[in-house]
Structure formats: C-alpha cells, structure tokens
Chain A
Amino acid sequence: MEPCTRRSFMKGGALALFALGGPPRFLVRAAFAEGSAVRPKVLIAIFQRGAVDGLSMIVPHGDPDYYAVRGNIAVARPVPGVADATLDLNGFFGLHPALAPLRPIWDDRRLAVVHACGSPDTTRSHFDAQDYMESGTPGVKSTADGWLARGLAGMPARAVASPFRAVSLGPVLPRILRGDVGAVAMNSVADFDVKDGGAMMTGGPGARRGFESLYEQGVRDLLYGTGRETFETVKMLKTAAPQRILPTNGAVYPRGRFGDSLRQIAQLVKADVGLEIAFADVGGWDTHAAQGNERGQLALRLKEFAEGLAALDRDLGPRMSDVVILTMSEFGRTVRENGNRGTDHGHGTAMLVLGGPVKGGRVHGRWPGLRPEQLFDGRDLAVTTDFRSLFTEVAVRHLGAPVAPLFPGFSAPTGAWPGVLG
C-alpha cells in the first residue's frame, strides 16, 4: 500500500535532502532543471458534483427539438451582439451566456467540448455514478482505487521525487485519487503545517518533530502511511512556499471555495513542486427545481465555474502549454423539463477540455439528437462518447500514462478517442 511506495523513495534519498530541513528554493528549481529537462505535464481535473445539465452548459440551439421540450428553461437562441442569449460556437452549439469568460479561450482554439459524453452504466444515482466515474469501472463497485491514481502509478517516476505529484484541494481525498500513489489532500496550501500557536513556549518545531516521530513507526497502516506523507508534504511546502505566489496577468478568481481551490492549484503549478495531477470539485448542479434559463440558479453556478476556469487559464499564462484542464460530471439531466422548471437525473452530458495542447474550437462527439426516439430510455440525452475514451485520450496523450491500468476491462483504440488532443 501507500507506505511502501512512499518509503521506497524516501530510502532512495530523493527526499533525504528535505529531511535535513530543506534546501533553499533555488535548489528545488535547479533539481527540476537538472533531473528532468522538461517540466512535468499537468492535468487539472474538475468534478461538477450533482450532475450538470449539459444541454444548458453547451446549448444545442440548432436542434429544433431543444426549444420544443424546454418551454421555460431553454437558453435563448443566439442573437449577434446580445449577451443575454446563447453564445454561438459553430452554428449548432453555443455556450450558456454565463460561460462568456470561456469564449476567448474557444476563439483561441484552446477549448474543446465533448458533448453527449457519459457512462455506459445506466444508474441515475449520484453516489454510484460519481463512484464509477472516479473508480473508472462503471458497474463494478469493488474497485479499490481511482483511475487517476492508477494512471499516475503507471507513469515513469520522475528524477526528482515529490510528495506533490497528485494533489486534491479540499478536506477529503476523493475516490479518483485513492490508491498507491500517496496523493495529498489539503484544505489550504498556506495553512498546511503544525501550528506554532504564537506563545514562545508552545507548539512549534518541537510539536512537529514529536508528531512526525509518532507517525514514523513503520507499521503498514493507513494512519501511519498517511502521517508520513503529511510530514514530507509539510517540509517541501516550507521550502517552496507556494502560498507567496500571487495571481499574475490580472487573473481574478471568483470568491468562494472553488475559486480558492483553483488559485492554490495555480500556486502549486508555479512553485515547481512536481505537481502532475490536481483535482478540485464544485457542487450545486442538482437543479431539480427552478433551474433558470439565461439567468437564475444554474446560470450563477456556471458563472462561477467559467470565471474560475478563465482565471486559472489567465493566471498560468504561458505555462498553459503544459497544462490540460478536464471537467466532468456524473451524468446529465432529463431532456424535458420537469414540473418544477427543473430537470431530473438523466444520462449524457457535456465535458470540457481546455489548455495549450488541446485541439480546441471544436465540439467533439456524435450528436444523438433530441427526438423522443433518439433519447436514452425515452427521456435522456444518449451517450455517444464513453467517458473512458475521453479520459484515456487525455491521460495517455497528455500525461503519457500507460493505457492498460487506467480502465480495466475497457479498451478504446486510438481511432475511437474523441480527438481532443490531436
């Protein structure tokens, strides 16, 4: 399990350096320059928990059936020069007006959409569907680890080991990163330390050393293994001090947990701590009632979502050439609006891929149509792209992950990938 993996590189001496109190910052950077000629590729995965309505996010305004089934909650057809209507992308699809901050990235051909994407499993349970999307094994609940963790475990180790290869922002380590890679969960980059507490005689390095020794005892155990990882992370953060890195290029993150998470991911990327996979989630998509159209409940969620992604893109600036941002949601919502001007649990939805390496300015995937006979179970957007095809393409083409361990029991030939990365 985790302790083994962590220990093996501790023994390998990569972090022995840090154990002595940490080298100065330049040394960390120099080590990257020396050990690996190129900076690591970074994947930032974002989970829209609660099942986002893909038909409102990426509006099929060219499909006449869309306006027929959504009398109250359809997003208005694009009108040139009108901001409060669908923003046309290609004559058939358009962005929800609240996603306007993403428009320049689309125009720059660095934003791609995969529509009618989703799971081969038909569950409409949030819990199960999220679990499947994170374990990467739809229909199989016994899978112990997450697909991002498996992908990372299969990637070649880098010359400079880092406890920061995979980081999740938030109080809980998500299923998608559970596994043998020792992914780190942190609420706040700045607060990630044993608290000194101010008073001269309390807390401080003594307490940190004490706790560190308590968790160093070599038992193969979730608690002890996690404890060791915690202190490796604390030490490296002290050296790299990412919390001092301010947003650049005029990036302004939206207020709230989601914006805070993205801002800190950018800090970790820019601090060169060896980050390869970052994860954040954002909730509030379960719009059973009063969903709204161009404005309203969902529009506000989408606005925060788009402002966050756009700020991250702006903040990372030239570094976006090494970064791909991938968004996902457990399923879509019913095509027809329900009795409360909302939508119930559905099937296919839209996912976004954004970044320098992305073949953007395109909506990928086959559009299944919205006529009753074209719907899944007669009610939901059908899935024409298995989420595993998309995730495989991103993990393999961008990160260089091996195909085999990602999605056991699933193989998509290169030709079946959606083509978001070329």
Chain B
Amino acid sequence: MRRVSSGASLILVGLVGAACSSAPSRMAAPPPMPAAPPAVSATRAPAPLSLPASTLGPDQLILHVLNRIGYGPRPGDVERVRRMGLAAYIERQLDPRSIPDPAVEQALAAYPVLTLSTATLVRDYPLPTAEARQRLASGEMSRQEIREMYPAERRPTVITAQMQAARVTRAVASDRQLEEVMVDFWFNHFNVYAQKGAVRWMLPAYEREAIRPHALGRFRDLVLATARHPAMLFYLDNWLSTRADLVVPAGPNAGRRMGLNENYARELMELHTLGVDGGYTQQDVIEVARCFTGWTIDRPQQGGGFIFRTLAHDRGAKRVLGQVIPAGGGQEDGERVIEILVRHEATARFIATKLARRFVSDDPPPALVDRTAAAFRRTDGDIRAVLTTIFTSPEFWSADAYRAKIKTPLEVVASAVRALDGRIAAASGADVADGGITLAREVARLGEPLYEAQPPTGYPDRAEAWVNTGALLGRMNFALGLAHNRFRGARVDVAGFLANTDRAQPAQVLDRLLAVVLHGEASARTRAVLAAQFDSPEITRTTTYDRGPKDTDVEKLAALVLGSPEFQRR
C-alpha cells in the first residue's frame, strides 16, 4: 500500500513539475541568512573547560562522561581519559574534526549507499517497474528472471539496511562519540520515516547533508537544511503544498486543482522549533504553510534536489506569530519563518529541555533548562556552546544524574559491544553475515528500528518508553546472544578478558567481569546474586570428562552481567 501511496503522490507532483518546467525559478545559491553574532564557544576559547566540583569519585566522573556523551566505555577507555584529563577529553569530543577516525572510515567502506547521491540510488537500487511486476503476475516472467533483473544486493531495502548497519558501526567504533550521539539526537528530532514512499532513496543524503554537518553546529542551519531537503519535503508532504487556488496550467493533468498542505508547517513549529506549547495557533499553522508553498522537489522520480517553484507559491501577505510577512515574497517567505522560529524564546526552551533530558535526566532540573536556554539565545543557537553549558553545569555532574538514564535500545547494543571490545565484521553490506546488519536487527527487536520511526516525533527519550516486560526480556536475550557470539559478524571474546584469571575459580572470574563490564559499579546485591549462581551446575560446569577440573561458563556469566539492571543504565 505504501507503493500505491507514493506512486500516486509521485504522479501528482510529476504534474506540477511538468506544468511548471517551462519557467522554473530555481535558487542556485543557498539562501542568504542574516548574519549571526559570533558564537561564544567554549571550545574555541584558549582557556580550558572548567568543570564544577562533584561528589562523584574520579573514576565515576570518567564513566559518567563516557556513558553520557558517548556509547559507553571500551576496555582501556577509563585509563585513556584519565591520562588525557576529563576536560580535555570533553573539549576534543566537542570538536570532532580534531579526532582522526580511520578505523571507522575503513569499516564504512562496506556500505556504499552512504556516499551515493539520491539520483544514483534511484537508478541503482530500483523498485521493479510496474511492467515487470505485471509480467511476473501474469506468468510472462519467472521469479528467477525477476531476481536476475533485480538482484538481492540492489534491492531498495538494502539502502536502509546499510544505513542502519553504519549507524550501529559508528556508535560502536567511532572515536567521535559525541558527534554520533548528536547525529542520533538530531535525526530523531528532525525525524523522517524510511518507509514512506521515496524517502528511502533520500535517506543517505539526508543524514549526510542535512544532519551530520550541523550536529555540533548552528541550530538555524539544521532547520534550514532539513526544511530544504527532499527527504523532509517528502516525509511531511510540503513538496505537494501549493497556493490554494493553483490550477495546473498545462501538461497531462492540466486543470487539476492543487492547494495547501499543513503537515510540515505544523510539525516545524510543534516538533522542530517552538514545541507543542510554544504558543502558536491553527491560524499560524495555515500562515506558515502558505509561506512554504513552492518549496518542493525537482523531479522527485529521478532523485532531484530542492527547487522553489514561483508558480506554486502563495504571494499574498501572511502574519506569523504576530509578525507580518509582506505580499509579493517568494522563497524568502519560508526563510523568514525559519528566522522567526529559531529566534523565538519558546524554541530556546524547547531545545534546551530536550538536550538536558538527553544528557542529564528524564525530568531535567528547571534551573539547568533556564541556563541552557539562555546559552541558546545568547549564542544564537550555537549547539557546541549550548552543550558546553550543560557539560559544565553542576547538575550534569551531580550524584542525582549519575546513572539516572535508562539506555535506549541503540545504547544498550552499542555499549554492550563496546564493553566486551567486540569487533564488527562488515560483509558486502547486504549479507546476513554483516555484523552491522545483525546488530541493527537486534536494536530493532528491542523496539528501535533505526530510520523507521513512523511518527514525526521520532523515538522517545524517557525511561517509561523503554522499560517494559517484553523489552526487558529482549535485553536479556540480546546479552545472551552477544556473549555467546550468536550474532553473525559480531564477535566478542569473553574468554580473552580472562587470560590471567583462573577459570576454575568462579569468584575470580566474576570479579574480572564486573570490573570489565560494570567498572565496579555493581551493587552488593547484584554481586551476591551473581556469586550465588556458581551453585548452578550450568554456570560451574565440569569438563566433558566430568572428573576434570571445574570450569566456569564465562559466557553465561558475562550475559548475566550485561543483562543486569545496572547495565541498563547510563
């Protein structure tokens, strides 16, 4: 049914495109934006980051940072950060381009879709044509012939699979950990759904061009880049939105009436900028939608880019949040709206709240939100500066915030692989043996299929959303699967950690595992419960010749530690 929907929409817009192609009004250069005041960015300043006092112990501080601004510690990370200094580590993370990341770049070479243009993806990863489908249905063509025409490694689903695999690979292996966290955060904030029509082919370009370059940049640039991107234009239907009285003047669908579509306008205010309580009205939604008429996609069937079509634009005067946008405008009407929205007090608060929720706690302290919002306003939405405010706040370093967040499924999977120093083997990128793909499938099983959140809200960032009976069971099973190397292409070497440990001594094994995975942060009760497991014949097993020395089922013990309540927190 999705195919039908997108097909129908494609035809619809095809018409407008055809009708307007005689006089397209394309903006070649990026739209001029008013100059922003220079950012007060702590990372650019010569003075090092100054961190507030905390009641947490020195190693706890390091663990807190590794868990919050990244996907958890790998073996040796705590020592590395200790050597480098906590402030220096955070500063480096705030400036990802200063961190070389050759291992990840190499691993990502297995996923060619990441670097391809939408037009190339449309050409090389096509859906079977209507004609081919019909010939298959009528028996004129065999399944085998179809498979040869459309080989498995060139199916459209491969695009999403490689994107998902790349996201997991980066979370696990990138040294630019904060950048990965922020890409996840902003993608989710400006969510698009891979399975809505043509979005799938636009997905790699969307993350590559609209999200990633601005993840630690300016909020305004994110809003503008997403507003203009075909993936967003398609997902929230703005590409179809025209002035109310537009009648297609020529082409095969001459005479068809077009009109306004409110979808993007509403979500732009509710989800991207002001927040649902940001004080806008239904009339504002309509006015904003009018401003964005004509922001559409050039030849969407061929993977074209943004285009502004004057013919589709409502040139009347508009009034948005009390500000008049005079008649006669064009593409700049939408740009004016973005300018109004990103400078609005409600936007600063909304973004500050979401960031504080991501990095501090589900219900962040109001004083922290106030200061973070102030930093947002003061720096004109400089994300690096806003994050610096959070990372240097006493609230971030408070005992209340320590381990207060429940990991999302992506965080569980990535942090578990990191804790056991797991290796992801990339295969062809469409292969069942590809570690990124099998791990991404686990993330989906735990409730967070990447790039496949259907509603524009994206995935929630609160504990209640992720803690329930089914999900918890899923996390335990993931821990068992990982520790036992049941996920093809993803290898952990639990035994390797125990090289200097006597496996006949379960207490030693447990101490080592708790040190490696939980860094000594297991409760006394958890330790006692795990120690009690040694009485289980499945844990302390005898060797095949059952009179041999006792051996500990280290994989199972590692799984219990990874599936423990402590490991579900960050």
Contact = CB atoms under 8 A, between A and B. Distances in A.
A205 B538 contact: yes
Interface in A111-135: 123-128
Interface string B1-24: 100110011001000000000000
A223 B467 contact: yes
B270 A207 contact: no
B555 A202 contact: yes
A213 B523 CA distance: 13
Contacts of A49: 455
Interface in A216-232: 216-217, 221-224, 226-227, 229-230
A186 B469 contact: yes
Interface string A359-397: 000000000000000000100000000000000000000
B446 A214 contact: no
Contact of B1 (A128, A184, A222, A301): A301
Given A201-B538, A217-B529, A340 B258 contact: yes
Given A290-B9, A340-B9, A210 B533 contact: yes
A315 interface: no
Given A127-B276, A283-B454, A289-B12, A345 B473 contact: no
B563 A214 contact: yes
A292 B258 CA distance: 15
Contacts of A224: 565
A233 interface: yes
B553 interface: yes
B242 A292 contact: no
Interface residues of A, number: 68
B241 A339 contact: yes
A339 B260 contact: yes
Contacts of A206: 533, 536-539, 553, 556
Given A125-B270, A194-B480, A377 B282 contact: yes
A22 interface: no
Nearest to B538: A206
A126 B469 CA distance: 26
B406 interface: yes
Interface string A241-284: 00000000000000000000000000000000000000000011
B481 interface: yes
A341 B240 CA distance: 10
A28 to B, nearest CB: 19
Contacts of A205: 538
Given A203-B484, A217-B529, A192 B465 contact: no
Contacts of A192: 470, 473
B8 A290 contact: yes
A123 B556 CA distance: 50
A211 B529 CA distance: 9
Contacts of B568: 223
A8 B237 CA distance: 51
Contacts of A288: 237, 240, 261-263
B4 A213 contact: no
Given A185-B471, A205-B538, A339 B259 contact: yes
B258 A178 contact: no
Contact of A172 (B266, B465, B481, B541): B465
B304 interface: no
Contact of B446 (A171, A223, A227, A344): A171
A317 interface: no
Interface in B503-562: 523, 525-526, 529-530, 532-533, 536-539, 541, 553, 555-556, 559-560
Contacts of A197: 480-481, 484, 486
Contact of B559 (A123, A207, A290, A340): A207
B276 A128 contact: yes
Contacts of A221: 565
A173 B261 contact: no
A213 B258 CA distance: 62
Interface in A300-338: 300-301, 304, 338
A269 to B, nearest CB: 19
A104 interface: no
Contact of B476 (A50, A211, A290, A338): A211
A21 to B, nearest CB: 16
A296 B8 contact: yes
B464 interface: yes
Nearest to B245: A339
Nearest to A336: B259
B109 to A, nearest CB: 32
B147 interface: no
Contacts of B476: 194, 207, 211
B60 interface: no
Contact of A344 (B262, B469, B555): B262
A127 B12 CA distance: 28
A197 B483 CA distance: 11
B34 to A, nearest CB: 30
A342 interface: yes
A206 B560 CA distance: 10
B564 interface: yes
B244 interface: yes
A300 B7 CA distance: 14
B474 interface: yes
Contact of B480 (A125, A203, A341): A203
A382 to B, nearest CB: 15
Contacts of A180: none
Given A226-B469, A227-B472, A289-B9, 6 more contacts: A194-B480, A195-B477, A203-B556, A221-B565, A339-B260, A344-B261
- Please provide the 10 A-B residue pairs with the shortest distance between their CB atoms, ordered closest to farther: A339-B259, A206-B538, A171-B447, A300-B1, A290-B8, A173-B468, A185-B468, A340-B240, A297-B5, A186-B470
15 contacts: A171-B470, A185-B470, A202-B480, A203-B480, A213-B532, A215-B565, A217-B565, A226-B468, A288-B262, A289-B8, A292-B4, A297-B5, A338-B261, A340-B9, A344-B261
Interface of A: 49-50, 123-128, 170-173, 178, 184-187, 192-195, 197, 199, 201-207, 209-211, 213-217, 221-224, 226-227, 229-230, 233-234, 283-284, 286, 288-290, 292, 296-297, 300-301, 304, 338-342, 344-345, 377
